[in-house]
Amino acid sequence: MAAITDYLEKELKLQVNRAKSADARPWQQKFLGYSVTWHKQPRLKIADSSLTRLKDKVREIVVGNASRNLGKTIEALNPVLRGWTSYFRLTEVKGALQELDGWIRRKLRCLLWRQWKRPVTRNKRLQTRGLDETRAWKSASNGRGPWWNAGANHMNAAYPKRFFDAMGLVSLLDTRQRFQRV
């Protein structure tokens, strides 16, 4: 590293940013938001810091106690998800995209659960979405927090992926697969 830095600075008269330069394995580094896997046949993947930045952006848009309705929240979220997926369309590892898709849907379910506030409202909404009366009431009055309920089976049954697809939510994995076919 020292020899290369000396050559670049002295011979080529280039300035080397030592904070960004490192001597490490490729899977430990990131370049333009991408990284590579450590397998024998390395594959392009999204760097962890890029995933963290997207999650922070989603948290800003899907504010936990916001009174904005679900449709408006999805409208605000879609341009961010489209742009992000478009930038990272070259990724070859789809596991991170699946996890992000599920996490975003869980954030939206959590938003719904918080907006409903009272067990009676939660019960009514869950029944409206097809849960039977006993299961809906048991779920609505379980005393657990919004995040737990957003990931629970009753919310997944009432608000599955197809519900969010029908609302127009951009799926990261589906968009990436569309890019791969073109």
Q: The tokens 């504010």 sit on which residue?
A: 63
Q: Is the pLDDT of residue 180 over 90?
A: no
Nearest CA among 27, 169, 29, 151 for reference residue 93: 27
Is residue 127 assigned to a domain?
yes
Contact 34, 45 (CB under 8 A): yes
Domain region containing 143: 47-181
Q: What is the pTM of this model?
A: 0.81
- pLDDT for position 166: 96
- Residue type for 3, please? A
Q: Please report whether residue 4 resides in a domain.
A: no
Handedness of CA 72, 74, 75, 80 (dihedral sign): positive
Whether 146 is covered by a domain: the verdict is yes
Structurally, the chain folds into a number of domains equal to 1
In this structure, is residue 39 part of a structural domain? Answer: no
Whether 164 is in a domain gets the answer yes
16 lies in some domain: no
Q: pLDDT, tens digit, for every residue of 128-169?
A: 999 999 999 999 999 999 999 999 999 999 999 999 999 999
Residue 174 in domain: yes
68 lies in some domain: yes
Structure tokens at 152: 């629970």
Tens digit of each residue's pLDDT (9 = 90 or more) over 56-75: 999 999 987 777 889 999 99
